[in-house]
Structure 1
């Protein structure tokens, strides 16, 4: 028996820690309903779930010390998981996920066709629709002019005809004109 370690100091320390824990939990467990009645609903849910989690985790620790691996099969573990789900629900309520941004776009051409087909009999509506369509086309035309990279006025003009394909085409046209003029004479 000399090789067995004396665990008495460890047990004394555990006993002291449990006494401290009991002292700290006593105000919470003694008047839980009184404390909860003064809190808002969300804080009340937090209080109850944290208290339940503290008690259940202590029970699980006790079972784990006494029964070892068999504690995994106890109902306490399922209760701990259920309380953790409550924590997740409370977290979702505190900070809800951001709403998804809509990525749908309206097919304006199809909308215009549908409106023309359905409202073609009504003269006032069809004239307003025609005005709107003309207005949208004008806006699109203005936008296309604004988006040009370089206007035609600013394009460089060659000073002398080059020997490129343009120059060759001009020479061929001159030759054809000369032949036509000779054949007429």
Structure 2
């Protein structure tokens, strides 16, 4: 290559170095530990990985410039190791995928049955359980059928019984009105009032005679009670 062709490349390199110095100035002015203290955990990991990658890449380019096969040098292995850390950080930054796996109960049951097959005791117990479950299901079905038949029969009989009861009620005679006791009580009260009025109109001699008659009646009533 001619010197004229190298000049623009050197100028570009000089500009890139100036840009790099400006970018690395805050890091170069202080220590790496002090600058990383202010950062959160994930950013701190990124910072350390980037610094090591920059140093290792500078060494790699330095070896290449001096004609050394850098791929066989330990620096190349360090670069690959740092790249693995980059992959780990990106995996942490990305959200974990939701699990779509679900348990197939039927398939699990089939596997368990096949695994337990061959044992006579287990096979007999399983058959007994299946037979019991079938018998229970048949009993439930028969009971439900009987209940349905009974309800249908009752519903068919109910309209006839209702019609018979209506006919019987129509055939019954109307209740006869009983004489009320109020009339008799009123008559008794009227008689007592008349007797009181008559007593007031009687003379004293007549009153004494009435009293004597009452006493006689009471005495006779007592005698009859004693005889009984």
After TM superposition, the score normalised by the length of structure 2 is: 0.42
Larger radius of gyration: 2
Secondary structure, aligned partner of 1:46: helix
Does residue 1:38 correspond to 2:38, yes or no? Answer: yes
Residue of structure 2 in register with 1:23 after alignment: 22
| CA distance 1:109–1:39, shift in 2 (3 Å) | closer
* Structure with the bigger percentage of helix: 2
C-alpha change, 1:78 and 1:109, in structure 2 (3 Å) is closer
> Counterparts of 2:44 and 2:62 in 1: how far apart (Å)?
27
Q: Distance in 2 between matches of 1:20 and 1:109?
A: 68
Partner of 2:58: 58
2:3 to 2, 5, 13: 5
- Structure 1: distance between partners of 2:81 and 2:20: 24
Task: Find the counterpart in structure 2 of residue 76 from structure 1.
Answer: 75
Structure number with the bigger relative contact order (C-alpha 8 A, sep ≥ 6) is: 1
- Counterpart CA distance in 1 for 2:109 and 2:31 is 68
Kindly state the Cα deviation for residue 96 of structure 1 after the two structures are TM-superposed: 4.8
Aligned Cα RMSD in Å?
3.9
Provide structure 2 residue ranges, at least 5 long, that are not aligned to the other structure. 113-121, 142-228
- 1:54: Cα distance to partner? 1.7
Deviations 1:45-69 (A, max 9, x none): 011111111222222222222226x
**Structure 1: 5+ residue runs without aligned partners?**
121-129, 139-185
Aligned equivalent of 1:67? 67
Alpha-carbon distance in structure 2 between the residues aligned to 1:41 and 1:12: 39
- Normalised TM-score (structure 1): 0.50
